[in-house]
């Protein structure tokens, strides 16, 4: 580990150094690290303890991406001994250091050439108090009421927000939990966000709802049960998709769903197939023909309802319309729950063995369900002082980002920048290298961020030209770690479509 210009500076008093990378201003003794473990006192020198991450993309002679380390010529260095296969490098903000509140230029402002064009990448680790995590949990199981508190270690760290199609959504962290409550609430909220962003498992509980074990890119565990399938659609959509395949094999299908329960013979799809009305009325509020809201309470039973006995949602069977021998299928939106009934002479549904043709369609519902996953999106505002580390005139950076002259990435991953004011961005942590995030005890999250633009544009927006150095110089830093480029990510130095 060596002394590296990271933007942070030390004030030495004997063997103690003071870190000025964040407002905590830790006084660090020889051989120790500061409160966040990111900076340490190594032989009297303030040192960023984690390696700086350089992402490498290897391209063979045909222009194809070569899997990292699959190249036998690889020696561990960052400069290729031969021109083929070509290697491209991108310096990420991971391990770069911080300069909060950015009264100095960003830790690394690096020049490189791309397709004959001079480019600049400004690299830093942003310290964010305005940040949060959006969790998308692919399940129709009930996790708790909208707006309910989500807790970790008993502290509120977020809330249940509006569900999306096939998924429950949680908002975790945010400035109010980080800094607006008790010290413990802030610390637990910060740790929870950090673990989620670093792709680690986290245990949560929802007031009046479920217990959850969630981890980015893994199936959620709800009340101890691993969720395997995301529903194929709501009950109405399921009817629409499979109506034709059921036709001729059953007389009625009820698809049980917490959102919309579908009833085939009443539904537009059943009418199109000229199905005979079956006279089976389900509970709930009819929205449009064959589509019912609120047939039961939300829960972890059939189709995200609390139903474990499907016949309980049948309100009445109309003796004038139904007939003995009527074949009824009841199924959930994932196909995990399904039962087949035949009406007896008294028009009472009697459970029967499911015919093969009907079972095949039930299995096809399951086949069409995508695997249930937990997705973690980190969201933060980079429109504050962080911009001063990039340019003397911060609003120019905001405008440049909005005009798509400057590409924003986080650990090399593409971000979505929200419209309107500021540089409020979201990034999928699964597209970032592992352990890309850190924290400081203010409390706040530390996240890598890179701004890439043409050299001429950087000069024009008032960039810190005196701090510019070549990428090759950075490559000589001995605390560098080369990591494989995420193959699904666009190369940040490629031009991006310009906006108006
Ligand atoms: S918390 Fe970390 S970054 Fe902040 S002053 Fe202490 S060592 Fe430096």
**Per-residue pLDDT reduced to its tens digit, 179-198:** 999 999 999 999 999 999 99
pLDDT confidence tier of residue 101, bands split at 50, 70 and 90: confident
Which one is predicted more confidently, 498 or 111?
111
- Mean of pLDDT over the chain: 91
Q: Which helix (H) or strand (E) holds 109?
A: strand 108-114
Mutation test residue for ligand 1: of 36, 47, 99, 194, the one with most atoms within 8 Å of CB: 36
Question: Lowest-confidence range among 79-88, 137-146, 460-469, 490-499?
Answer: 79-88
Decide: 46 in ligand 1 pocket, CB within 6 A: no
What mean pLDDT comes out for the span 83-109? 86
Strand partners, 446: 127, 438
Q: Is the pLDDT of residue 267 over 60?
A: yes
Number of other residues whose CB lies within 10 A of the CB of residue 355: 13
* pTM for the full predicted model: 0.88
CA–centroid distance, 128 to ligand 1, in Å, is 14
pLDDT confidence tier of residue 98, bands split at 50, 70 and 90: confident
Question: pLDDT above 90 covers what percent of the chain?
Answer: 84
At 402 the three-state DSSP class reads helix
Q: Which of 203, 211, 207 is nearest to 148 (CA)?
A: 207
**DSSP codes joined into one string, 123-168:** EEEEEESSEEEEEEEE--S----TT-EEEETTEEEEEEEEEETTEE
Decide: 189 in ligand 1 pocket, CB within 6 A: no
Decide: 444 in ligand 1 pocket, CB within 6 A: no
By CB neighbour count within 10 A (0-12 exposed, 13-18 middle, 19+ buried), where does 251 fall? buried
Question: pLDDT above 70 covers what percent of the chain?
Answer: 91
Q: Which of 294, 334, 295 is nearest to 311 (CA)?
A: 295
Q: What is the spatial distance between Cα 206 and Cα 172, in angstroms, rounded to a whole number?
A: 12
What mean pLDDT comes out for the span 390-417? 96
Mutation test residue for ligand 1: of 17, 22, 37, 104, the one with most atoms within 8 Å of CB: 22
123, 125, 129, 134 alpha-carbon torsion, rounded to 10°: 80
> What's the pLDDT at 5?
46
CB contact at 8 A, 439 and 37: no
CB contact at 8 A, 308 and 302: yes
Q: Is the pLDDT of residue 71 over 80?
A: no
Q: Which helix (H) or strand (E) holds 177?
A: helix 175-179
Decide: 24 in ligand 1 pocket, CB within 6 A: yes
Question: Lowest-confidence range among 87-101, 264-278, 450-464?
Answer: 87-101
CB contact at 8 A, 101 and 458: no
Q: Is the pLDDT of residue 83 over 90?
A: no
**DSSP codes joined into one string, 226-274:** E--B--SS-HHHHHHHHHHHHBTTBSEEEEE-SS-EEETTTSHHHHHTT
């Amino acid at each position: 580990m060596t002394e590296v210009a990271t933007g942070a500076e030390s004030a030495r008093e004997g063997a103690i150094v003071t870190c000025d990378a964040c407002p905590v201003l830790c006084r660090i003794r020889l051989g120790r690290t500061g409160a966040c473990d990111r900076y340490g006192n190594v032989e009297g020198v303030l040192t960023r303890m984690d390696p700086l991450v350089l992402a490498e993309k290897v391209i063979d002679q045909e222009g194809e991406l070569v899997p990292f380390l699959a190249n036998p010529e690889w020696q561990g260095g960052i400069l290729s001994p031969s021109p083929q296969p070509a290697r491209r490098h991108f310096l990420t903000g991971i391990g770069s250091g911080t300069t909060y509140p950015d009264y100095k230029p960003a830790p690394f402002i690096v020049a490189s050439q791309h397709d004959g064009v001079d480019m600049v990448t400004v690299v830093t680790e942003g310290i964010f108090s305005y940040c949060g995590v959006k969790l998308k949990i692919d399940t129709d199981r009930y996790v708790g009421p909208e707006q309910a508190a989500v807790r970790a270690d008993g502290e509120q760290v977020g809330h249940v927000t509006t569900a999306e199609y096939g998924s429950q959504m949680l908002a975790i962290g945010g400035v109010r939990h980080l800094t607006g409550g008790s010290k413990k609430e802030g610390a637990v909220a910060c740790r929870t966000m950090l673990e989620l962003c670093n792709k680690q498992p986290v245990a949560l509980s929802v007031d009046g709802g479920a217990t959850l074990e969630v981890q980015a890119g893994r199936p959620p565990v709800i009340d101890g049960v691993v969720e395997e399938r995301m529903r194929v659609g709501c009950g109405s959509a399921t009817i629409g998709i499979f109506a034709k395949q059921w036709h001729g094999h059953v007389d009625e299908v009820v698809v049980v769903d917490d959102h919309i329960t579908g009833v085939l013979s009443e539904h537009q799809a059943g009418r199109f197939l000229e199905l005979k009305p079956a006279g089976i009325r389900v509970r709930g509020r009819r929205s449009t023909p064959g589509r019912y809201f609120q047939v039961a309470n939300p829960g972890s039973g059939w189709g995200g309802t609390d139903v474990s006995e499907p016949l309980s949602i049948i309100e009445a069977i109309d003796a004038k319309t139904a007939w003995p021998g009527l074949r009824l299928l009841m199924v959930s939106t994932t196909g995990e729950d399904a039962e087949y009934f035949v009406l007896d002479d008294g028009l009472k549904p009697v459970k029967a063995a499911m015919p093969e043709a009907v079972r095949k369609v039930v299995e096809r519902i399951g086949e069409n369900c995508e695997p249930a996953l937990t997705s973690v999106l980190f969201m933060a505002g980079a429109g504050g002082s962080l911009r001063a580390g990039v340019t003397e005139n911060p609003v120019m950076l905001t405008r440049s980002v909005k005009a798509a002259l400057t590409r924003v990435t986080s650990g090399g991953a593409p971000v979505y920048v929200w419209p309107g004011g500021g540089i409020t961005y979201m990034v999928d942590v699964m597209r970032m290298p592992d352990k890309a995030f850190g924290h400081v005890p203010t409390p706040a999250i530390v996240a890598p961020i890179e701004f890439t633009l043409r050299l001429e544009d950087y000069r024009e927006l008032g960039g810190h030209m005196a701090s510019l150095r070549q990428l090759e110089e950075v490559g000589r830093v001995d605390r560098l770690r080369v990591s494989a480029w995420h193959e699904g990510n666009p190369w940040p130095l490629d031009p991006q479509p310009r906006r108006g």
